[in-house]
């Protein structure tokens, strides 16, 4: 992180901004009762246990959660589940995510290593283990509200310590994930976590979006592109659109007052072949602080000239009135 991530120290355009109070499931919110809103989006849904790699743990609603559940995992939560842990499980339940024991252990190990490495390199402003569960893990998984599929190729631009890409990879092991990060030390942490968690089909790439996007291997090749707390919407769209295949989605988590930034983003979107699809409030337990997901679709090929160099982007941002 994420000085700019939720709970972090916000800085200008990269701040994780957000919105409005919402409803829990996009499948409900983007349903037939709301024509045009979210058209073309894949509704969030529960991936069946059969699609997961190992047997799923049933996560009951919070009020029914039995502490015994946590003892079944080796690195288990304490027998007395604290409110944040309970909230995390309730959030997973609302997302339709059933954690296997292996996945629960992966999250616990990820949290431990994140906080350990964070004492040596600046990875996150969040040092409370309970907050990591909600503001990093659950927040990352909120993308499942708008996109869920058995297979997908996902790019996380400016992944930092792995958010949102790595938690998504843990719960959707069939996804092919690329974590792009400009800072070498963070990339080393990501590579360490990928190895430690024994994750396959995920790579941490050291580089800048504006350079990597011009490489054939990555251009127009992703089903989903995301970036949390990296830049303003217009900059993010210029970074993301070239990576996204036609028909693919760009999902940008934000928080706070956004009217002007969104207006600029919508003008920028037209220049990079992207169309605005939906503004989805995130309503998950423990995250009721105005988070939202701005969803875009790549409707035509992004012109070759984008993204421009960092210097030009800073001097002449897209979408200015
Ligand atoms: N996404 C993570 C999160 O939400 O915790 C990290 C957010 S952190 C505030 C922003 C990260 O984006 C930094 O690690 C930075 O190095 C990276 N970054 C900024 N601009 C970038 C670019 N053009 N290409 C790749 N990474 C970039």
C-alpha–C-alpha distance, residues 75 and 77, integer Å: 7
User: For the chain, what is the mean pLDDT?
Assistant: 82
Mean pLDDT of the 116-124 span: 98
Task: Determine the distance separating the centroid of ligand 1 and the alpha carbon of 229, expressed in angstroms.
Answer: 7
Please tell me the residue having the least CA distance from ligand 1 atom 9.
Answer: 2
Task: Determine the distance separating the centroid of ligand 1 and the alpha carbon of 70, expressed in angstroms.
Answer: 33
Task: Determine the distance separating the centroid of ligand 1 and the alpha carbon of 133, expressed in angstroms.
Answer: 20
- pTM for this predicted structure: 0.82
- Residue to mutate, 141, 164, 182, 254, ligand 1, most ligand atoms under 8 Å from C-beta: 182
Is the model's pLDDT at 15 over the cut of 70?
no
Is the model's pLDDT at 18 over the cut of 80?
no
Tokens 């995390």 correspond to what residue? 88
Distance of CA 227 to the CA centre of its chain: 7
Domain positions in the chain are 12-315
Which of 59, 65, 83, 73 has the alpha carbon at shortest distance from 134?
83
Q: What per-residue confidence (pLDDT) applies to 79?
A: 64
Is the model's pLDDT at 248 over the cut of 60?
yes
Mean pLDDT of the 91-96 span: 95
Q: Which atom of ligand 1 is nearest to the CA of 3?
A: 9
Please tell me the residue having the least CA distance from ligand 1 atom 4.
Answer: 228
Mean pLDDT of the 38-59 span: 38
Q: How confident is the model at residue 112 (pLDDT cuts 50, 70, 90)?
A: very high
Strand-by-strand arrangement of the 274-281 sheet: 202-206, 176-181, 153-157, 222-226, 244-255, 291-298, 274-281
- Residue to mutate, 181, 208, 311, ligand 1, most ligand atoms under 8 Å from C-beta: 181
C-alpha–C-alpha distance, residues 164 and 141, integer Å: 7
Task: Determine the distance separating the centroid of ligand 1 and the alpha carbon of 110, expressed in angstroms.
Answer: 19
Task: Determine the distance separating the centroid of ligand 1 and the alpha carbon of 53, expressed in angstroms.
Answer: 30
Instruction: For the chain, give percent helix, strand, coil, nearest 5.
Output: 35, 15, 45
Mean pLDDT of the 182-203 span: 98
Q: What per-residue confidence (pLDDT) applies to 193?
A: 98
Classify 179 in phi/psi space as left (phi over 0), alpha (psi -120 to 50) or beta. Answer: beta
Q: What is the pLDDT of residues 261-306, one digit of tens each?
A: 999 999 999 999 999 999 999 999 999 999 999 999 999 999 999 9
C-alpha–C-alpha distance, residues 178 and 181, integer Å: 10
For 185, the enclosing helix (H) or strand (E) is helix 184-196
C-alpha–C-alpha distance, residues 234 and 150, integer Å: 30
Q: What per-residue confidence (pLDDT) applies to 44?
A: 43
Task: Tell how many helices (H) and how many strands (E) occur in the chain.
Answer: 12, 7
Give percent of the chain with pLDDT exceeding 70: 75
Task: Determine the distance separating the centroid of ligand 1 and the alpha carbon of 14, expressed in angstroms.
Answer: 9
Measured from CB, residues less than 6 Å from any atom of ligand 1 are 1-5, 14, 157-161, 163, 180-183, 186, 208-210, 228-230
The superfamily CATH assigns to domain 12-315 is: Vaccinia Virus protein VP39 (3.40.50.150)
Q: What per-residue confidence (pLDDT) applies to 81?
A: 80
Whether omega for the bond prior to residue 242 falls within 30 degrees of 0, making it cis, is no
Give percent of the chain with pLDDT exceeding 90: 74
CB atoms within 10 A of CB 306: 20
Task: Determine the distance separating the centroid of ligand 1 and the alpha carbon of 29, expressed in angstroms.
Answer: 30
Task: Determine the distance separating the centroid of ligand 1 and the alpha carbon of 145, expressed in angstroms.
Answer: 23
Please tell me the residue having the least CA distance from ligand 1 atom 14.
Answer: 160
Q: What per-residue confidence (pLDDT) applies to 76?
A: 58
Q: How confident is the model at residue 96 (pLDDT cuts 50, 70, 90)?
A: very high
44 DSSP assignment: P
169 DSSP assignment: H
Q: Which atom of ligand 1 is nearest to the CA of 162?
A: 2
Task: Determine the distance separating the centroid of ligand 1 and the alpha carbon of 157, expressed in angstroms.
Answer: 7
For 87, the enclosing helix (H) or strand (E) is helix 83-95
CA-based radius of gyration for the chain: 19
Is the model's pLDDT at 48 over the cut of 60?
no
Which of 111, 108, 90, 126 has the alpha carbon at shortest distance from 6?
126
Q: Which atom of ligand 1 is nearest to the CA of 8?
A: 9
Q: Which atom of ligand 1 is nearest to the CA of 6?
A: 4
For 154, the enclosing helix (H) or strand (E) is strand 153-157
Of the listed ranges 74-83, 156-165, 241-250, the least confidently predicted one is 74-83
Q: What per-residue confidence (pLDDT) applies to 139?
A: 98
C-alpha–C-alpha distance, residues 31 and 37, integer Å: 8
């Amino acid at each position: 992180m994420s000085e700019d991530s939720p709970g972090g120290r916000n800085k200008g355009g990269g701040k994780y901004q957000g919105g409005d109070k919402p409803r829990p499931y996009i499948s409900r919110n983007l349903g037939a009762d709301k024509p045009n809103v979210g058209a073309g989006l894949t509704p969030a849904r529960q991936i069946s246990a059969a699609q997961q790699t190992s047997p799923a743990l049933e996560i009951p609603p919070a009020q029914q959660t039995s502490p015994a559940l946590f003892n079944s995992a080796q690195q288990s939560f304490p027998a007395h589940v604290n409110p944040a842990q309970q909230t995390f499980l309730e959030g997973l339940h609302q997302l339709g995510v059933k954690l296997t024991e292996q996945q629960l252990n992966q999250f616990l190990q990820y949290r431990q290593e994140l906080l350990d490495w964070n004492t040596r390199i600046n990875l996150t402003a969040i040092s409370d283990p309970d907050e990591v569960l909600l503001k990093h893990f659950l927040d990352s998984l909120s993308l499942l509200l708008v996109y869920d599929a058995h297979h997908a190729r996902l790019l996380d631009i400016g992944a930092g310590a792995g958010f949102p890409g790595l938690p998504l990879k843990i719960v959707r092991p069939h996804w092919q994930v690329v974590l792009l990060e400009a800072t070498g030390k963070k990339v080393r942490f990501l590579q360490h976590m990928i190895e430690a968690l024994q994750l396959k089909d995920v790579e941490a790439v050291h580089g800048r979006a504006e350079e990597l996007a011009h490489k054939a291997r990555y251009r127009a090749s992703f089903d989903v592109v995301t970036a949390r707390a990296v830049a303003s919407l217009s900059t993010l769209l210029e970074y993301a659109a070239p990576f996204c295949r036609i028909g693919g989605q760009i999902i940008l988590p934000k928080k706070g007052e956004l009217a002007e930034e969104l207006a600029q983003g919508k003008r920028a979107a037209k220049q990079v072949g992207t169309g605005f699809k939906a503004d989805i409030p995130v309503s998950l337990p423990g995250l009721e602080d105005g988070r939202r997901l701005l969803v875009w679709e790549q409707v035509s090929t992004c012109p070759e000239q984008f993204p421009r160099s960092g210097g030009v982007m800073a001097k002449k941002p897209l979408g200015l009135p």
